[in-house]
């Protein structure tokens, strides 16, 4: 499936596209005109009820040529607001428009085919431009606009550019357009093939488009599949001959978006969920230079190599590119299974090697390495056990090493995959018939696939790996990882806060436990908390009053002692009377005073009594 260039032009509110018809699959790409073929089948005339001739005569100076109508009608068309995909027989043409297509009233699209110039002509209506919008010479691949007003150019600048042999502004702008090609979400394209009609050279007769596409190795197979050998659990396309490669790709992308699990990807993002007793797949080191072939595999290789149905012919550019991309897709699935099982095949190895390869599941055709890597990485984080983006990149590096010098290892793994498909349950032998056996013959042929050619594939694959990132997967992986990091940071903050408050909470908890375990609180069960609080307050008031009375008594004693020292000894009688009064007052309060104050008062009363008796 090779991409082609589309010439286009804008005229007022319409866009005209000129799409060249690709040569036949069995014809050289250098031939400008298809070879004369037999007339189209009579079913075409019966389908439309117009005439009985199935061929169309083309008038010319040298005579008339018969054009194969079936090949011209074999098209598939997808359209969106700014994009149009046109698959013509064996080639895909993409066009991106800067203006918006008017698809509201698109009921029937007329496609004109010019047999003299050998191209399709499609005219699509566009929405009117806004007042402030200015558009250049048009968008998309190839060709310039004729209807839009271009910005006037300076004659002086054109003269200087011509004199200095520099590219003009228009040439520089057109050269930069392919680099600014937007990323198209192909799963949003709408298929309008059933709404299209084909008209040849302006004749009144119109034809409906048909669907007869090739599949398998180099797209050399056609017709319905043998459903008895088809693994319906793995293969999603049961009639690949009625679906164009772009439609098969669209089916794959939609299925992957439905089956992708955000939670499963989060679980394997930080660390792979490796079961106990198994080695981490990221730490495995494949031994691609240490391989051996069993007797059964040698016998199988001999039988496959002997089944050459036709002479080996050099492939054209279209088929060679498709074959190489298919080989890389098969090899990537094998490298994942080898790395995750430590090169010890399990009962799930057949399923793993088939589900990760879009060739088996959707009979998909690739024409560039970037699409191969993107499809493998998408399926790797969607279906198997370990869903990690870095693990997928490591599998790509393993494939690069195999292509550099592991031809024997690759042949051995292809034979092992053939055995797993043939002997597994359910049987996947149809994959062997349409792909693996042809690829085994291709890899084992030094003339068709030399060591230098494999090393070239390794260099190209390495360069593409450096450009592919998570944004190309189209599954929102970057947003999922950002969301997971935020969740982990929030958990870390919560854990830090709980650790900082845990000592205080623990202290409060110990105090509460001490209060609960205090036996004094359990003696009087009838006492409530309010009563205990009131009682404690009254007790504290009594103690305060006692301390105040004691302080007053002590102050009185100190004053009286000072007066006794100042008086003369002749007034002992009066002092004794005062001492008796003081002793009597002190004794009344002795019960409320401390022990040392009571002893002092008693000693003072005894001395006073002895003095009174001596005087008598």
Q: Which is it for the CA torsion 443, 446, 450, 451, positive or negative?
A: positive
Contact 462, 400 (CB under 8 A): yes
**pLDDT confidence of residue 229:** 65
Average pLDDT (449-459) is: 95
Helix orientation angle between 369-380 and 317-340, rounded to the nearest 10 degrees: 30
E strand or H helix at 122: strand 119-125
Please tell me the predicted confidence (pLDDT) of residue 277: 82
Strand 196-200 with 109-114, pairing: parallel
Residues sharing a CB contact under 8 Å with residue 107, sequence separation 6 or more, in sequence order: 195
Residue 84: which region, alpha, beta or left (left: phi > 0; alpha: psi -120 to 50)? beta
Tokens of residue 347, six digits:
């009962």
What's the pLDDT score for residue 317?
66
pLDDT exceeds cutoff 60 at 203: yes
Kindly report which listed range (130-134, 321-325, 360-364, 466-470) carries the lowest average pLDDT score.
130-134
Nearest to 411 by CA among 494, 265, 525, 291: 291
| Alpha carbons within 13 A on the beta-carbon side of 161 | 13
* Model confidence pLDDT, tens digit, residues 390-446: 999 999 999 999 999 889 999 999 999 999 999 877 788 899 999 999 999 999 998
Mean predicted confidence (pLDDT) in 554-581: 49
Question: Whole-number mean pLDDT of the chain?
Answer: 75
Which of the two residues, 498 and 65, has the higher pLDDT score? 498
Does the pLDDT at position 114 exceed 60? yes
Whether 51 shows a pLDDT value over 50: the answer reads no
CA distance 441 to 160: 59
Torsion angle in degrees (nearest 10) through CA of 434, 417, 369, 481? 130
What was the pLDDT predicted at 140?
46
Per-residue confidence band for 504, with pLDDT thresholds at 50, 70 and 90: low
Q: pLDDT class for 561, splitting at 50, 70, 90?
A: low
Average pLDDT over residues 197-219: 92
How large is the average pLDDT for residues 594-611?
48
More confident site: 585 or 294: 294
Arithmetic mean of pLDDT, 163-188 = 55
- Strand residue runs (E) in 530-581: none
Which has the higher per-residue pLDDT, 330 or 423? 330
DSSP per residue, 201-217: TT-S-EEE-B----BSG
Of residues 499 and 344, the one with the higher pLDDT is 344
- Name the pLDDT band for 529 (thresholds 50, 70, 90): very low
SS3 406: coil
């Amino acid at each position: 499936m090779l991409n082609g260039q589309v010439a286009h032009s804008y005229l007022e509110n319409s866009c005209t596209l000129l799409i060249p018809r690709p040569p036949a699959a069995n014809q050289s790409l250098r031939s400008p005109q298809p070879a004369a073929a037999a007339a189209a089948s009579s079913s075409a005339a019966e389908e439309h009820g117009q005439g009985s001739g199935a061929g169309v005569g083309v008038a010319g100076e040298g005579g008339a040529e018969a054009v194969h109508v079936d090949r011209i009608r074999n098209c598939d068309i997808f359209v969106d607001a700014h994009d149009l995909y046109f698959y013509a027989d064996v080639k895909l043409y993409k066009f991106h428009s800067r203006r918006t297509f008017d698809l509201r009233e698109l009921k029937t699209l007329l496609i004109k085919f010019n047999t003299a110039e050998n191209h399709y002509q499609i005219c699509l209506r566009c929405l009117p431009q806004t007042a402030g919008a200015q558009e250049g010479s048009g968008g998309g691949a190839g060709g310039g606009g004729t209807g839009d007003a271009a910005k006037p150019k300076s004659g002086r600048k054109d003269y200087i550019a011509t004199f200095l042999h520099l590219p003009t502004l228009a040439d520089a702008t057109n050269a930069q357009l392919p680099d600014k090609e937007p990323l198209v979400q192909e799963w949003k394209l709408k298929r309008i093939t059933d709404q299209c009609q084909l008209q040849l050279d302006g004749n009144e007769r119109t034809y409906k488009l048909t669907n007869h596409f090739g599949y398998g190795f180099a797209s050399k197979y056609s017709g319905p599949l043998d459903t008895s050998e088809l693994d319906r659990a793995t293969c999603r396309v049961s009639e690949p001959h009625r679906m164009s490669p772009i439609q098969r790709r669209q089916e794959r992308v939609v299925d992957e978006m439905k089956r992708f699990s955000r939670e499963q990807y989060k679980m394997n993002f930080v660390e792979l969920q490796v079961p106990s007793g198994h080695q981490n797949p990221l730490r495995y080191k494949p031994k691609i230079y240490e391989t051996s072939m069993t007797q059964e595999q040698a016998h199988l290789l001999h039988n496959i190599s002997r089944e050459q149905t036709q002479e080996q012919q050099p492939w054209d550019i279209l088929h060679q590119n498709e074959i190489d991309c298919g080989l890389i897709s098969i090899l990537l699935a094998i490298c994942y299974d080898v790395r995750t099982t430590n090169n010890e095949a399990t009962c799930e190895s057949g399923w793993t090697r088939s589900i990760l390869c879009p060739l088996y599941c959707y009979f998909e055709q690739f024409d560039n390495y970037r699409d191969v890597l993107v499809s493998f990485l998408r399926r790797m984080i969607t279906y198997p056990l370990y869903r990690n983006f870095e693990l997928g990149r490591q599998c790509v590096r393993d494939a690069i090493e195999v292509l550099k010098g592991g031809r024997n290892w690759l042949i051995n793994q292809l034979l092992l995959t053939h055995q797993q498909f043939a002997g597994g349950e359910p049987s996947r032998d149809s994959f062997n018939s349409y792909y693996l056996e042809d690829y085994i013959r291709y890899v084992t042929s030094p003339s068709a696939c030399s060591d230098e050619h494999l090393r070239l594939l390794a260099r190209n694959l390495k360069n593409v790996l450096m450009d592919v990132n998570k944004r190309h997967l189209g599954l929102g992986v970057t947003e999922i990882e950002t969301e997971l990091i935020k969740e982990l940071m929030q958990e870390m903050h919560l854990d830090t806060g709980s650790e900082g408050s845990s000592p205080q909470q623990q202290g409060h908890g110990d105090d509460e436990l001490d209060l609960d375990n205090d036996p004094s609180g359990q003696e009087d069960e009838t006492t409530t908390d309010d009563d205990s609080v009131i009682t404690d307050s009254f007790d504290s008031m009594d103690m305060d009053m006692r301390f105040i009375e004691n302080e007053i008594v002590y102050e009185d004693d100190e004053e009286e002692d000072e007066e006794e020292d100042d008086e003369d000894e002749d007034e002992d009688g009066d002092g004794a009377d005062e001492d008796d009064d003081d002793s009597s007052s002190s004794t009344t309060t002795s019960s409320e005073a401390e022990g040392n104050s009571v002893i002092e008062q008693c000693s003072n009363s005894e001395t006073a009594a002895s003095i009174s008796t001596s005087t008598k």
